Structure 1
Amino acid sequence: MSVELIADAIGVPVWALVPVALAAAAVLVFILDGLSHSVLKPGKSPPVIGTTPVFGGMLEFLKGPIGLMARAYPKYGEAFTVPVFHKRITFLIGPKVSEHFFKARDQEMSQKEVYEFNVPTFGKGVVFDVDHITRAEQFRFFANSLKSDRLRQYVGMMVKEAEDYFAKWGDEGEVDLLDALSELIVLTASRCLLGREIRETLFSEVTTLVHDLDKGMVPLSVFFPYAPIEAHRKRDKARKELAAIFDKVIQGRRESGAVEPDVLQTFIDARYKDGSRLSNDQVLGMLIAVLFAGQHTSSITSTWTGLLSIANKERIFPNLEKEQKDVMAKHGDKIDFDILAEMDELHFCIKEALRMHPPLIMLLRQCHVPFEVETTKGKKFVVPKGHIVATSPAFAHRMDEVYSEPNVYKPERFKGESPEDKRAYASFIGFGSGRHGCMGETFAYMQIKTIWSHLLRNFDFELVGKLPEPDYEGMVVGPKHPCTVRYKRRKL
């Protein structure tokens, strides 16, 4: 639910974009590729993968970014550049070279230019369709919706949705965990974000329209967000219909003076420093941005938490089950914000799942001011103005230099006086870091803890088949289907 996630979760992965409009872009790329070579200072910029005009490193991208980094890192090190179409993407791999990426101001390293293709989905006047100052104020609105007093209210809603959902499960059976948890996350998000009116009376209609918005984000959208294709037509139609629905809900609250404990209300009440407020359509745009930011990522992370814990059941479950028994002995069946905060074992399991399988495998920025990076081997490079700068949680989290046995699920790595993620700045970037660290991090942990606290107390699980592999073909990377688990309800 973070501003960082709003940028990066919605952003279509770069490797999915390579085949798009190749023929149309070829001539332009050839010209711009030559110009970019002429302005860079030899020996100062990071090494370039692929020197063939037009194609450059594009063929490497076609093989996927994780593979590209795995091949390039041993040869080029922590900083290298890949030309794609008329753009140059500089990769900064690992904590040492990524510090500026996370600490830089928006005027130096910006999200806006990279993600402007989201404007048709979010709408005018919000997020990527405003200047830095206005966006900073809108970020404040996001922050207000995630204050602790609000989170305490959201937890109650999360608990009710989880209890109602899992009450419909039988005494035993099999489910696809990703499908089940994705459905529950949508229900929870609708209640906490979109409001009581939507959840109680318009849920099915709104869910269908949001689905059309989601499917309207295709690779072509990144280069041609207004291209006259069917996916865009359905997207625009859905956006218009959602605006009509929410206009009635928002106007009804404004006129009646009703106050509800949800994110929708926060945006209705929000005021800029000059006293002006968001229009009804802009309130909707902010809601869409928040919903898109958290829906897929929370579904995926809650699924990986379960799959990895169940796959390592003998080693992981004793600690998880003991923690739940201890909490129940202390508080009974009650679950609230403070009780969830006591669940450290579950917290570390979620964090380790996010380390191993971050849904956002690429984070991107536009470089406006050249900056220098120094690698762990002492090599110095200048990242030129105009480059897109990329860093990868998925790759950095698996580096031997950062984590011990990085391919092993070890929640205990975050415990003790010297947790592995605190040894260097930006070692753990599952929620981003620095200026654009995830404001919704606490919300996400509360949401996933609510789900798995309930499941651990009420069900036994076994994994059916092998642990799924990551689906790198997806817009946001989750596990491949099937994600089947066998459950059996505990007898109280």
Structure 2
Amino acid sequence: MDVDTKLLDGALPIVATLVLAVLIGVIIIRRRSGHRLPPTVKALPLIGGLLRFLKGPIVMIREEYPKLGSVFTLNLFHKKITFLIGPEVSAHFFKAPESDLSQQEVYQFNVPTFGPGVVFDVDYTVRQEQFRFFTEALRVNKLKGYVDQMVTEAEDYFSKWGDSGEVDLKYELEHLIILTASRCLLGREVRDKLFDDVSSLFHELDNGMLPISVIAPYLPIPAHRRRDQARKKLTAIFANIINSRRCAEVSENDMLQYFIESKYKNGRKTTDSEITGLLIAALFAGQHTSSITSTWTGAYLLQNKQYLSAVSEEQKRLMAKHGKKIDHDILSEMDTLYRCIKEALRLHPPLIMLLRHSHSDFSVQTRDGKEYDIPKGHIVATSPAFANRLPHIFKNPDSYDPDRFAVGREEDKAAGAFSYISFGGGRHGCLGEPFAYLQIKAIWSHLLRNFELELVSPFPETDWNAMVVGVKGKVMVRYKRRELSAN
């Protein structure tokens, strides 16, 4: 008994120390995580917030932001999506290296559309080199050549309009944008000889990207089967074009040509499959966003006579200075039109959600000083559609006011970086932003110079059900050709 008692007396301090250590550890963990984890959206067991998410992420954010603040988590089955809303908490989202926050896992659903060996089907180092190809193809010296083609496409397209009539502006701009993109990106062979075939195949690719595709991109449904067939046919078409170009002595001025001539750092040339995939990615990145933004720009201008007059007067000043000519440098002088496009994009960014996958823990601090820890493994999200309308950044945020970007106000800069995120920002900002602005300016400068326009249908609503959120229904416009043509 004495021996047992002595052993027990000796063990008690050890046990007490271990228990105390465990309790301290639990307290520390709770302080580090449980007490600083973001608040969670109330949702059903098991499926979590799936129903609310499918109802519309923007609706959900609008409901939860006033209650939970700028950082909160939504449970979706076994996944956790943490939203960072506003520049105060989203800096890490935009600035973090790929090793901390990556795109690849969350955008895997694009792989069947873009094809193997490009963008989200390759590791980060290869993807960075491919993004370098895009960057080089969109440098100013290249853009200047593209502008000439944009202007020519706009002139040819609108020359087919009569002296007066009514058109669905949304339909017209969608078709003009794909024509322009074909000329500047896909090449003259597609634009001049194969446009109808290639356009219909891209349409099948587009229709094969459904909400279910995000969750199950390889599900054997008819839309996915048509998508895969279209991808194979596009590969065959571009293989012939690429082969002809490799044998040609004359170099073309388009993105296709640059991809053909591009090389990786190890000296390897791009393959036919890679070139096709990069072209598809480029067209998908720009076609919808440019046509949607062109339409919203027109709808707002025709609804707001003050700004319609301002952009029209700007065109008159430029014509007095430069004559009828339009080129890259003249488009760059269109500051008023630029602000009108930028404001339409603020109110209606086509990409309403940006996503990353977190590979490490990180912390954020809100405007009111609250600190939250976001654990490794969370999907991290931000929303341009919501963040672009925060009232502490933009005055009367739901109002169309292009002058908010004018010198002296510059509301998008007052709160610091990442206040305006229609084109994303940071490490993964949109590479095609300069191309998009030039394209939309080229179209609208031609329309403003050559036509009197009037919106005759109700102001359009937002089509929240689309994968790339755009304009719902028709945008009917009455036009009358000006007697003294600017061109």
Tell me if both proteins adopt one fold, taking TM over 0.5 as the criterion. Answer: yes
TM-score (norm 1): 0.91
Match of 1:359 among 344, 350, 354: 350
Output the aligned Cα RMSD. Answer: 1.3
Matched residues in 2 for 1:274 and 1:177: separation?
47
Q: Which digits, 9 at most, give the CA deviation of each residue in 1:263-291, with x for residues without a partner?
A: 00110000001000111011000000000
Q: Distance in 1 between matches of 2:258 and 2:229?
A: 26
Is 1:331 the equivalent of 2:308? Answer: no
The aligned residue for residue 399 of structure 2 is 408
- The whole-number CA distance in structure 2 between the counterparts of 1:309 and 1:152 is 27
In structure 1, the partner of 2:472 is: 480
**1:340 alignment counterpart:** 331
* Offset, 1:131: 0.6
CA distance in 2, matches of 1:59, 1:245: 42
> Partner amino acid for 2:338?
H
1:296 is matched with which residue: 284, 288, 299?
Answer: 288
| 1:428 lines up with 2:423 in the alignment | no
* Deviations 1:366-403 (CA, angstroms, capped at 9, x unpaired): 11111111111111101111111111111111111110
Work out the CA distance in 1 between the residues paired with 2:52 and 2:194: 46
Task: Look up the match of 2:196.
Answer: 204
- Any runs of at least 4 consecutive aligned residues in structure 1 with deviations exceeding 3 A, and if so which? none
Show the counterpart of 2:55.
63
Distance 1:287 1:62 in 2: 31
| Distance apart, 1:219 and its partner CA | 2.0
Q: CA deviation at 1:62?
A: 3.0
Alignment partner, residue 384 of structure 1: 375
Give how far 1:484 is off.
1.0
Q: Which amino acid aligns with 1:467?
A: F
Q: Please list, as runs of the form range in 1=range in 2, the aligned pairs for 1:133-152 lying within 5 A after superposition.
A: 133-152=125-144
- Structure 1 counterpart of 2:434, one-letter code: T
Aligned to 2:167, what secondary structure does the other structure show?
Answer: strand
Whether the aligned pair in 1 keeps the contact of 2:462 and 2:472 (CA below 8 Å) is yes
Matched residues, number: 454
What residue in structure 1 maps to residue 230 of structure 2?
A: 238
Aligned to 1:35: none
* AA at the equivalent of 2:323: G
Question: Secondary structure of the residue that 1:91 maps to in structure 2?
Answer: strand
Out of 158, 162, 174, the residue aligned to residue 182 of structure 1 is: 174
Report whether the alignment pairs 1:93 with 2:85: yes
Tell me the alpha carbon deviations over residues 43-81 of structure 1, each in whole angstroms, 9 at most, x when there is no partner. 222111125321222232132111111110111000001
The residue number in structure 1 matching 2:158 is 166
**Where do residues 260-271 of structure 1 align in structure 2 (5 Å cutoff)?**
260-271=252-263
Q: CA deviation at 1:226?
A: 1.5
Kindly indicate whether residue 218 of structure 2 is the aligned counterpart of residue 226 of structure 1. Answer: yes
8 Å contact kept, 2:211–2:467: no
What SS does structure 2 have at the residue aligned with 1:173? strand
Aligned to 1:72: 64
Shift of 1:41: 2.8
1:229-287 alpha-carbon deviations (Å, 9 max, x no partner): 11111111111111111000001111224310000011000000100011101100000
Query: 1:132 — aligned with what?
Result: 124
Three-state SS of the structure 2 residue aligned to 1:41 is helix
- Residues 405-440 of structure 1 show CA distances to partners (whole Å, capped at 9, x for unaligned) of 111111111012341001121111011111111221
Residue identity opposite 2:335 in structure 1 = D
Alpha-carbon distance in 1 for matches of 2:42, 2:243: 55
Cα distance in structure 1, aligned partners of 2:77 and 2:456: 43
- Give a deviation string over 1:120-159, Cα, whole Å, max 9, x none: 1111111001111111111100001001110000000000
Quick one: distance in 2 between partners of 1:90 and 1:278?
38
Residue identity opposite 1:56 in structure 2 = G
Q: Percent identity?
A: 58
Q: For residues 68-113 of structure 1, give each alpha carbon's deviation from its aligned partner in whole angstroms, at most 9, with x where no partner exists.
A: 1111011100000111122111111111111111111111111100
- Whether contact under 8 Å (2:166, 2:479) holds in the other structure is yes
Q: Secondary structure at the match of 1:487?
A: strand
| 1:201 positional shift | 0.6
Secondary structure at the counterpart of residue 363 of structure 2: strand
Distance 1:58 1:229 in 2: 22
Gaps of 5+ in 2: 1-29
- AA in 2 matched with 1:284: T
Q: Secondary structure at the match of 1:470?
A: strand
- When structure 1 is superposed on structure 2, of 88-97 and 215-224 the one drifting more is 215-224
1:154 counterpart residue number: 146
Letter in 2 for 1:54: L
Cα deviation 1:278-308 (Å, max 9, x = unaligned)? 1101100000000000000000001000000
Alpha-carbon displacement from aligned partner over 1:346-367 (angstroms, at most 9, x marks no partner): 0000000000111111111111
What is the rounded CA distance, in whole Å, between the counterparts of 2:99 and 2:480 in structure 1?
54
Counterparts of 2:314 and 2:169 in 1: how far apart (Å)? 23
Moved more, 298-307 or 40-49: 40-49
Match of 1:29 in 2: none
Q: Whole-Å Cα distance in 2 between the matches of residues 70 and 389 of structure 1?
A: 17
Counterpart CA distance in 2 for 1:174 and 1:89 is 46
SS of corresponding position for 1:188: helix
Match of 2:3 in 1: none
Q: Which has the larger radius of gyration?
A: 2
Q: Displacement of 1:197 after TM fit?
A: 0.7
2:340 matches 1:349: yes
**Which residue type is aligned with residue 137 of structure 1?**
E
Hey, what's the Cα distance between the residues in 2 that align with 1:169 and 1:256? 37
Amino acid paired to 1:69? I
Deviation at 1:465, TM superposition (A): 2.8
TM-score w.r.t. the length of structure 2 is 0.91
Structure 1 residue 200, shift from structure 2 partner: 0.6
Q: Distance in 2 between matches of 1:51 and 1:161?
A: 51
* Higher RCO (C-alpha 8 Å, min separation 6): 1
User: Which amino acid in 1 is paired with 2:187?
Assistant: G
